[in-house]
Structure 1
Amino acid sequence: ATMAGNDQSKEGRIELAVQAYKNTKIASIRGAARLYDVPYSTFRARLGGRASRLNSTTPTRKLTDREEEVLLEWVLSMDKRGLPPRVAGVRRMADLLLAKRAESSSQPPIQVGDKWVRNFITRHPELKSKYSRRYDHQRAKMEDPEIITKWFELVRNTIQSYGIAEEDIYNFDETGFQMGVIGTSKIVTSAERYGKAFLKQPGNREWVTVVEAVNSSGWTVPPMVIFKGKVFQSPWFRDIPEDWTIGVSTNGWITNDLGRQWLQEVFDKYTRDRTKGKYRLLILDGHGSHVTSEFDQYCTENFIIPLYMPAHSSHLLQPLDVGCFAPLKRSYGSQDEASTRAGINHIDKLDFLRLYQIARQEALSMPNIQSGFRATGLIPFDPSRVLSNLTISGIETPTQSSQPQSSQETWVPETPRTIIQLQRQTERIKKHLSRVGPTSPTSVAIDQIKKCAELALYQAEILTDQLTQMQASAQHQKRKRQTDKSFITSSTILTGTEGRGRASCQEDVVEGESAEGRAVEKTRTPRRCSRCNQSGHTSRTCK
Structure 2
Amino acid sequence: MASDEQFSLCWNNFHANMSAGFHGLLSRGDLVDVTLAAEGRLLQAHKLVLSVCSPYFQEMFKMNPTHHPIVFLKDVSHSALRDLLQFMYQGEVNVKQEELASFISTAEQLQVKGLTGNQNEESSTPSKPKPTSRPGPRSSQQRQSVMTKLETDLDSKPSSTPVAIKRPNRPSIASNNSSSSQSGPVKRKCVDPLEAGPSGSAKEEFVTIPDEDENNAVAPKMEPEFVNESMWDEDDDGTNNDETNFGEDDSNMEMSGFDGSTTGDGNITGGGEGGAVGDAQEIAPRRNYTKEQMAKAIEEVNRGEKVAVAALKHGVPRITLFNKITGKTPIECNFGPATILSQEEEKLLVQWVLHMADRHFPVTKDHLLDSVQKIIIEKNLDTCPFTNNRPGKKWYASFLKRHPEIKERIAQNLSRARENVTEEELRNWFDINRKYLESRGLVEALTDPNRVFNTDESAFFLQPKAGRVLVRKGYKNVNNVGGGKKANLTVLITANAAGILAPPMVIYPYERIPTRIANSVNKDWGIGKSDSGWMCNKTFCEYVANIFNPWLQKMNIPKPIIFFLDGRRSHLTLHLAELCKSIGIEIIAFHPNSTHLLQPMDVAIFRPLKVFWKEEVSKWKTENPGSKFKEEYFAPVLEAALENINKEMIKNGFRESGIHPFSIEYVDLAKICSSHRTFVNCDSESDN
Q: TM-score, normalised by structure 2?
A: 0.37
Higher helix share: 1
TM-score w.r.t. length of structure 1: 0.46
